[in-house]
Amino acid sequence: MPLSREKIAAAAIRLADAHGLDGLSIRKIAKELGVGPMRLYDYVLNRSELLDLMVDVVYARIAEVDQHQEWRATVLAIAHATRRAALDHEWFSDLLGARPHLGPHALAVGEATAAALSRSPRVRDVGDLQRALGALNGFLVGAIRREVTERRTARSTGTDEAAWQASLGPYLTRMLETGRYPTVARLVIDGAHLDAEETFSHNLTTVLDGVTGG
């Protein structure tokens, strides 16, 4: 079993899931596979091509969602699947929007969303479709990125109030006590702990309604 792009991508994804993109290196992947670092370059041109490979593997999982005949349901399903995938593979959100995603599976989900959106009555010509796709994808990558970084900082500081106050507290509370940021302070202090998925869902339908002229 001589090695293959698939195996390399799988090992890379394992490592990235465990230690993040910063903890991912050609050498570590090679060690994980029990070969010399240079072997990978027989299957992959670059480190960045390897990242593209990993990204497309994730897109493959996203593309597995069912296609409903209702265009709106299809779009919602794809968006939620993308969010789910990003939460399972946080490094995915780091790559989201950083480069054009042109792998076959990425194109497949692009095709699916574009086709679904174009079935909306308010999307008439190609220009409408371009704009709608742009707004939707923009929101998608932004919202996902946001949620992932929030989750990361929450994890690094610890969820409990005490640890949070101890880590970001000294600086942030001092900042907020200056009184220059009253609204932000209000948000931080008595901001409700709203459910992330529910928020995502809510904002997604809002944007989708706006885009398709609801």
Are residues 106 and 58 in contact, defined by beta-carbon separation less than 8 angstroms?
no
Whole-angstrom CA distances from 84 to 14, 87, 98, 144 are 17, 5, 19, 9
Which range in 9-17, 24-32, 69-77, 109-117 contacts its own copies by CB under 8 A? 109-117
Enter the DSSP assignment of 101: -
* Greatest C-alpha distance within the chain: 64
Among 24, 54, 75, 86, which residue interacts with DNA (rule: CB under 7 A)?
Answer: 24
* Window 140-159: residues binding DNA (CB under 7 A): none
DSSP string for residues in 139-181: HHHHHHHHHHHHHHHHHHH-SSHHHHHHHTHHHHHHHHHTSS-
Among 27, 122, 146, 155, which residue interacts with its own copies (rule: CB under 8 A)?
Answer: 146
- Which of the choices DNA, its own copies, none does residue 190 contact, using the CB cut-off of 5 to 8 A by kind? its own copies
Interface ranges with its own copies (CB under 8 A):
94, 97-100, 102, 104, 107-108, 110-111, 114-115, 118, 126-127, 129-131, 133-135, 137-143, 145-146, 149-150, 153, 168, 171-172, 175, 180-184, 186-187, 190-192, 194, 199, 202-203, 206-207, 209-211
